[in-house]
Structures are given as structure tokens and as C-alpha cells.
Amino acid sequence: MDSQRKKGILDVCVLAALKQGPSYGYELIRSVSVCVPVSESTLYPILKRLEAGGCLTTYRQEHNGRLRKYYQLTEAGEEKIRQFLDEWSEMERVYAFVKQMS
């Protein structure tokens, strides 16, 4: 898959995983990797970029004596998911056209 396309898909996959509720890095890796393989070195820059873009917020909570960083979806993140789904409909039409013409 094209790296730019994969980057956009990973962004929306992370946001979709957070739609289920707040989560932390390792759990997000497990959730997202079900459909698109993702490593820590890929996930954390995505999380930082999404936070900077206002798509998610963070908070820390103690877990087994250690502070764990949780990520939570914002309204802007939900809007990004909606935009992706709208754009996906367009991509399906383009795909159907290309397949028909090939």
C-alpha cells in the first residue's frame, strides 16, 4: 500500500479505535493491528500529530502503581472519521470506474 494512503488510513483507524472509549498506546496497537499492522514507532508520532490537530486529548491515570497515558477522542476526531467515510464513498466510485475500464 502507498505510504501516504496508509498514513491516512492509520490515522482514522486510531480514531475509530478511540471511538470505543479512551485507551493507551499498547492497547491501541493491539486494536489497530487487527486490520493494519502498526508498531510503537509508527503509532506514537500518529498520536502526537492527532493530538496537535485537536482530534484527541490525553490524560494520565495510575495503573498498577505507574502512570499510564490515555488518549481520548474529541469532536474534531469524530468529524475526521465522518469525513473519511464520506471520502471513502467517492473512492468506491473511482475504484468501480477503474475496474470497469481495466
Give me the sheet containing 56-63, strands edge to edge.
23-24, 66-73, 56-63
Per-residue model confidence as pLDDT tens for the chain (102 residues): 677 777 789 999 999 999 999 999 999 999 999 999 999 999 999 999 999 999 999 999 998 999 999 999 999 999 999 999 999 888 899 999 999 998
Domain boundaries, given as residue ranges, for the chain: 3-101
Report the run of H or E that residue 36 belongs to, with start and end.
Answer: none
Question: What is the pTM (predicted TM-score) of this model?
Answer: 0.86
Residue from 76, 92, 91 nearest 18 by CA? 76
Q: Contact at 8 Å (CB) between 25 and 39?
A: no
CATH (residue range 3-101)? 1.10.10.10
User: Cα(79)–Cα(100) distance, rounded to whole angstroms?
Assistant: 32
